Amino acid sequence: MSTVSDALDALTDLQPDRARITADILHGLSQHPRQLPSKYFYDARGSQLFEQITRQPEYYPTRTELQLLQQVCADIARAVGPHLHVVELGSGSGRKTGLLLHALTDPVAYTPIEISRAALLDSVARLAEALPEIEMLPVCADFTRPVALPEPQREPARRLLFFPGSTLGNFAHDDAVALLDAMRQTMGPTGLALIGIDLHKDPALIEAAYNDAAGVTAAFTLNLLRRLNREIGSDFDLDGFEHRARYSVPRLRIETELVSRCAQRVQVAGRAFDFADGEAMTVEYSHKYTDASFGALIAEAGLRVRMQWNAEAPAFGLRLLERA
């Protein structure tokens, strides 16, 4: 039996340090157009704001995926079999995870990989209390980089990688293929992956989800600059940038940017970066998919769809993947 204390004691802490964050930011600001990695949204405050986003009336992905999971969890459990080591990428609050773990037959262990230490510890504590029979092996790390997984005490039948929340859509094409390829390797020969994907639909509905009336998403985006100022000593003026999110139909993606409100200079690690009035800095993509575009993407990583489940309105999908 796993206690909350056991789960927290088992934490593997590989959270990016100041030097790693600084190097990533300097690299992104040196690009044209400039960009900041979206993975750094999730400090403690960013994780709290994202949870608020998921509860906004305009933000359909989380509630739609939760409802879909509730409907099909029994089917998923039959499809993946018993005695799994469940590995979740970007675990966040763990709301969806609880539904999945409760439905599975005798899961051996659960390894959430999450970059936000605060969010990770909070979700693991709640899951360990609710599911004491499952060994909790949390890892605080950037899941976009190779991570050595802890080994459960009991031998699992296979690994199931769980990647909900349409997070795959945050990656540009080449990065998405690289991540999927890494997932294929982590799964092993008999492993599976369960992925949530947001499907293409009315652009107005999509855009509204990333521009909520309460301004929570804007606060979440700007919190990235606040975090960088605090953790690496940059001097971004939060009042000097504004959130903008627009859906590109040709590219099937939301493009979220921080737009400079004036000509200004930003200092990062002793380097100066000049922004023009109106200059946009990319902070996140949120790709949407069709069956054809998703199938082509995963094929590049040596994967194929084994089973699929869809919510009809608004359109959202769960895909169970296996090696091709």
228-262 pLDDT tens trace: 999 999 999 999 999 999 999 999 999 999 999 99
Judge whether 227 lies within some domain: no
Give 199's DSSP letter: B
Higher-pLDDT residue of 304 and 123 is 304
Judge whether 243 lies within some domain: no
**The pLDDT of residue 5 is above 70:** no
Q: Maximum Cα–Cα distance for the chain, whole Å?
A: 59
Q: Radius of gyration over alpha carbons of the chain, in Å?
A: 20
**The pLDDT of residue 195 is above 70:** yes
Position 165 confidence tier, pLDDT thresholds 50, 70, 90:
confident
Task: Identify the CATH number of the domain in which residue 168 sits.
Answer: 3.40.50.150
Give 191's DSSP letter: -
Position 1 confidence tier, pLDDT thresholds 50, 70, 90:
low
Judge whether 255 lies within some domain: no
Residues of the chain with pLDDT > 90, as a percent, come to: 82
Judge whether 30 lies within some domain: no
Q: Given this model, what pLDDT does residue 44 score?
A: 87
Where is average pLDDT lowest: 179-183, 257-261, 301-305? 179-183
Q: Given this model, what pLDDT does residue 108 score?
A: 97
Instruction: Give the residue numbers spanning the domain of 143.
Output: 4-14+56-201+288-323
Average pLDDT, whole number, for the chain?
Answer: 93
Where is average pLDDT lowest: 8-12, 63-67, 157-161, 284-288? 8-12
Q: Given this model, what pLDDT does residue 6 score?
A: 67
Dist CA 230 CA 232 (whole Å):
6
Position 142 confidence tier, pLDDT thresholds 50, 70, 90:
confident
Q: Compute the average pLDDT of residues 114-139.
A: 89
Judge whether 43 lies within some domain: no
Q: Given this model, what pLDDT does residue 13 score?
A: 72
Which sign, positive or negative, has the C-alpha torsion 243, 143, 32, 239? positive
Going by C-alpha positions, the residue among 11, 12, 2, 42 that lies closest to residue 127 is 2
Q: Given this model, what pLDDT does residue 144 score?
A: 79
Q: Which of 71-75, 86-90, 310-314 has the highest mean pLDDT?
A: 71-75
**The pLDDT of residue 4 is above 70:** no
Alpha helices for 146-234 (secondary structure H): 173-187, 203-209, 216-232
Judge whether 183 lies within some domain: yes
Q: Residue 51, SS3?
A: helix
Q: Given this model, what pLDDT does residue 312 score?
A: 86
Residue at token pair 């005490």? 153
Q: Quick check: 258 and 240 in contact, CB under 8 A?
A: no
**The pLDDT of residue 225 is above 70:** yes
Tens digits of per-residue pLDDT, 269-298? 999 999 999 999 999 999 999 999 999 999
Length of the chain: 324
Phi/psi-derived region of residue 269, left when phi > 0, alpha when psi is between -120 and 50, beta in every other case: left
Judge whether 235 lies within some domain: no
**The pLDDT of residue 149 is above 60:** yes
Q: Given this model, what pLDDT does residue 9 score?
A: 66
DSSP 262-296: SSEEEEETTEEEEE-TT-EEEEEEEE-B-HHHHHH
Judge whether 180 lies within some domain: yes
Q: Give the number of domains in the chain.
A: 1
Position 21 confidence tier, pLDDT thresholds 50, 70, 90:
very high
Residues of the chain with pLDDT > 70, as a percent, come to: 95
